[in-house]
Amino acid sequence: MNLLIIIYALMKKTPLFILLLVALLIGTAAFKPANRYKDGTYTGESQSKYQTEPYWGQATVEIKNDKVVKFHFQIIDKQKNEVFGPDYERHFKDKPEYVQQCRNDLKGVQAYAEKYRKTSDPEQVDAITGATWSYNIFQAALKAALDKAKSK
């Protein structure tokens, strides 16, 4: 009720009311956060710290209205020209510890991508025990994609 009385009193002094209203609108616009990202589809690739290995993480983000609306992540063996997937472990059939490592990292690839799709926040994606390699590649590739999408 008090607010209505104030508005009524200000309206009686129209120039002052209009000036205050304009100042309020300008002030509100000044506090509107700028978009972090440009609309579009962006792909980032990275090996993270594994520069001597042929594996590259590839993250693709689609941005609309400053939000990630689609996301895809994969690791590619560029030497074999093959996506790291469920049957990749066949390359290590004589090394059981590598087969297990492939399985752990594949779980990581899937879990990291799913968690990011749900949260759109890289900080909310935690490493899975035994899948640190895929986590590091995921984070680096995602950062590369988001860096391309940033508004300047």
Q: Per the structure, how many domains does the chain have?
A: 2
Structure tokens that stand for 133 in this block = 């390699």
Residues 136 and 93 placed together within one structural domain of the fold: yes
Identify which has the larger pLDDT, 53 or 11: 53
What integer pLDDT is reported at residue 12 of this predicted model?
A: 65
Domain that holds residue 136: 40-149
Residue 9 or residue 79, greater confidence: 79
Pair (12, 58) in one structural domain: no
Q: Are residues 89 and 141 in the same domain?
A: yes
| Number of other CB atoms surrounding residue 21 within 10 Å | 13
Residues 71 and 133 in one domain: yes
Residues 24 and 44 occupy one common structural domain: no
Residue 35: what pLDDT? Answer: 85
Q: Is the pLDDT of residue 23 over 60?
A: no
User: What is the domain-level CATH number for residue 87?
Assistant: 3.90.1010.20
Give start and end residues of each alpha helix (H) in 85-151: 96-119, 132-149
H or E element: which one contains 94? none
pLDDT band at 151 (very low <50, low <70, confident <90, very high): confident
- pLDDT band at residue 31 using 50, 70 and 90 as cut-offs: low
DSSP classification of residue 20: H
